[in-house]
Structure 1
């Protein structure tokens, strides 16, 4: 079991809330205790408190997120004026390509999706707002890291343990450095079946006023739909990224957190 500290109860409660996602929206008491490495009695006590505040709902021996989470989510989304301002650009991109479009930023070793516009072509690809994926297996993450300063990029690569999700996933620093060089030359990152078989994505970087990469815009879909139009889609992404860059630069923020928490 986890060692108890003064803030362990709060930490455990937050970790429980973070464990709910689209892949597993419901947990049993035993599953939560095992997943968080805490005792069943501790898990029950924390869940009871969360339930009393409507952060958790208990139904049929399982727990799921409650209405308080929805209230905070709506407040957060509504307050992000910069993301709302990107909506016309994403809608235009989905209209041109027919594919779902995303805005993402780097969060640690993962890429975090901040905004999504569904395309005309619906595909069974889980890329919802708030989802995190390993940066190295997605075009969204790769294009951000490719344009990072050399020392930051190398430090991130050295700290990353690469998992081969498919036979196309790159697994060495040398492979990624060669790929990043090509990304910088092309202005876009193209990920073919590196995270999921039969799917690919294309992404372009978004920069702040200091010409530092802060986010990416991407489209994702089936290989058979994107690959024949790869060049045209890449051009549309670069044009969209440039328009979003111009829009975002008026905020004058120095980092992704400054921009998306403004």
Structure 2
């Protein structure tokens, strides 16, 4: 094991002490961890500077507010997943295609839930997969509904790289597509993340009207012929609207 990996493991050993203790002194951390005092001191000092630990007037340490922020993010995403799963199952059964639930994670989108199609031929995606916000229906629906300043800042910084034959790599083409998605309430993509595939996505909003996730159906291109699109779009938008309502969103 590399030395820096050992350091990470030892650092986690110190933080794990707070799973069973609300407050600890430096001496107690040394005693419980069995590590040299100088090593523990360096770790604790770094954790305090980063906001992972807080020190009170008596010199005791407790977990910092940064953990509360991380915990809130995880809680929100898990709640979305739990709320979404029954709706996703119904949507999958109605349309016969794979259903994805995606949230934003920095400059990427990440799949937090996936229901496979029951058809013999489908797409390979998995929970934890990441994609750039500009590529693929579910990723791009998040980008489309970001606040204007966030979206512009992202587009100014990002380079549009091809992922498959249909990836949009021209910003002059991408911008009107984002505006159209905001107006219509959905996004359609073809061969953007993988060739010969198609996806339809719609946005999910919270009680503050902010986009928190995207839901999509995805499959092979031949299953998304033009005459089928209106019904498929209606189904995806309806599922997204239902989830938004469950999160407290009220359309103005």
Counterparts of 2:79 and 2:141, CA distance in 1? 24
What's the TM-score, normalizing by structure 2?
0.66
Shift of 1:249: 2.3
Report if aligned partners of 1:158, 1:173 keep a CA contact under 8 Å in 2: no
Shift of 1:215: 0.5
Gaps of 5+ in 1: 15-75, 251-262
Counterparts of 1:151 and 1:230, CA distance in 2? 32
What's the TM-score, normalizing by structure 1?
0.64
Give the match for residue 136 of structure 1.
134
Match of 2:212 among 214, 226, 238: 214
Counterparts of 1:180 and 1:112, CA distance in 2? 19
Instruction: Specify the structure having the higher radius of gyration (Cα).
Output: 2
Provide the secondary structure at the position in 2 that maps to 1:125. Answer: coil
Counterparts of 1:95 and 1:124, CA distance in 2? 14
Give the match for residue 106 of structure 1.
104
Q: RMSD of the alignment, in Å?
A: 2.8
Shift of 1:123: 3.5
What does residue range 1-262 of structure 1 map to in structure 2 within 5 Å? 9-10=7-8, 80-228=78-226, 229-249=228-248
Residues 123 and 137 of structure 1, relative CA distance in 2, 3 Å threshold: farther
Shift of 1:165: 2.2
Provide the secondary structure at the position in 2 that maps to 1:158. Answer: helix
Counterparts of 2:242 and 2:150, CA distance in 1? 26
Shift of 1:122: 4.4
Give the match for residue 30 of structure 1.
none
Aligned residues: 184
